Structure 1
Amino acid sequence: MKKQRPVHLDLQTIRFPATAIASILHRISGVIMLFAIGILLWLLNTSLSSSDGFAEVIAMMQAPIVKLMLWGILTALGYHLLAGIRHLVMELGEGEELSAGLMSAKLTFVLAILLSIIAGFWLW
């Protein structure tokens, strides 16, 4: 009996729908935020330890690499928040149809890009 399964999948030809990409990015942003919590808590602890610690954190925040890191954290936080709201709305039974899911995923992408731009301007 010959099986009709594909023998070789070319992963570069597979295109995920926007809803799948939104879900994957939501998980990735959650993992980024998990690691970011440690960085942010360390910055908070250092800034609250003494006036010298606060000055040290302020000086660190002027470095472009730290600004880039904070921008990434804020971007992940913004996307995770928007995608979380999208998932909560879908849990309530709204927007579960394919067309509504695609529209909400694309809207999440657009709003996340806007939040990322705003965060970039705020940091720089």
Structure 2
Amino acid sequence: MKTQALLASIALALAGSAFAAGEHNHAHEHKPLHGGLVVEVKDMDYELVAKPTVIQLHLRDHGKPTDVAKASAKLTLLSGAEKQEVELKPAGDKLEATGTFKVGPGTKVVALVTIAGKPAGTVRFALK
């Protein structure tokens, strides 16, 4: 009887810890809101929308849009043996660049994102 009570107590403690950890780590959803690919880094969601003529980066902090007026990003696009550097600038509520980009399936994107008042961060994407 004591063994069952002990096992039940351990299971309850572990379940509570897992629930609390899950709630803390996923207080917001990481779904794409603009049809792109979402990556989370340090509670920031970075949504990359990559098209052959435009690249956009949407930023959300704990699920809320981030002010990008004083932000920028430098992207490195790696498609096979080809490498392309792209600078994104504020465009309304997102960072954006227009031009001609090789962004097909398998393209890897490394973004160095600078937001005013915060250290620069690196975000990695793999396009599908």
TM-score, with length taken from structure 2:
0.25
Higher relative contact order (CA 8 A, sep 6+): 1
* Greater share of helix: 1
TM-score, with length taken from structure 1:
0.25
* Greater share of strand: 2
